[in-house]
Amino acid sequence: MVVFTNVKKELIEKLQGFTKNELKTVYEEVRLQKNGVVLILYTSGKLLLQGETENVAKIADQLQKLGIGEITKTVSFKKETGSIIGSDESLKGDTFGGLVVAAVRADEKERKLLQELGVADSKKLRDTEIVKIAERIRNVTTCHVKSILPEEYNSFDGNVTLLLDKLHTECAKSLGPGKHVVDKYPGCTVGDISVEKAESKYVEVAAASIIAREAALRQINYLSKVAGFPIPKGSTHVRLALHELEERKLDPKKFVKVNFANVKEFFQ
Q: What is the residue extent of each domain of the chain?
A: 2-74, 84-222
100 and 89 Cβ atoms separated by less than 8 Å: yes
Question: Helices (DSSP H) in the chain: which residue ranges?
Answer: 9-13, 53-66, 108-116, 127-140, 150-154, 160-173, 203-227, 239-247, 261-267
Torsion over CA: 132, 138, 141, 143 (sign): positive
- CA–CA separation, 68 vs 62, rounded Å? 9
User: What pLDDT is recorded for position 106?
Assistant: 96
Q: Residue 21 class from Cβ within 10 Å (0-12 exposed, 13-18 middle, 19+ buried)?
A: middle
| Cβ contacts of 143 within 8 Å, gap of 6 or more | 102, 103, 104, 105, 137, 175, 207, 208, 211
Q: What is the pLDDT of residue 222?
A: 98
For the structural domain made of 84-222, what CATH number should be given? 3.30.420.10
Domain 2-74 classified CATH 3.30.310.10?
yes
Predicted confidence band of residue 120 (pLDDT cuts 50, 70, 90): low
- Whether the per-residue pLDDT at 53 is higher than 90: the answer is no
How many Cβ atoms from other residues are within 10 Å of residue 144's Cβ? 19
What letter would DSSP give residue 9? H
> Tens digits of per-residue pLDDT, 60-112?
999 988 998 888 766 667 778 899 999 999 999 999 999 999 999 999 999 98
Ramachandran category for residue 231: left, alpha or beta (phi over 0 → left; psi -120 to 50 → alpha): beta
In the chain, the amino acid numbered 179 is K
Burial class (CB in 10 A: 0-12, 13-18, 19+), 65: exposed
In the predicted structure, residue 176 carries a pLDDT above the cut 90: yes
pLDDT of residue 81: 82
Give the model confidence (pLDDT) of 6-34 as tens digits: 899 999 998 989 999 998 778 889 999 99
Name the more confident of 4 and 220: 220
DSSP 178-218: SEEEEE--TT---SSEEETTGGGT-HHHHHHHHHHHHHHHH
Query: pTM for the complete prediction?
Result: 0.78
Considering only residues 200 and 118, tell me which one the structure prediction assigns the higher pLDDT: 200
| Band (121; pLDDT cuts 50, 70, 90) | low
The percent of residues in the chain predicted with pLDDT above 90, rounded, is: 66
Backbone phi and psi for residue 18, each to the nearest 5 degrees, phi listed first: -105, 145
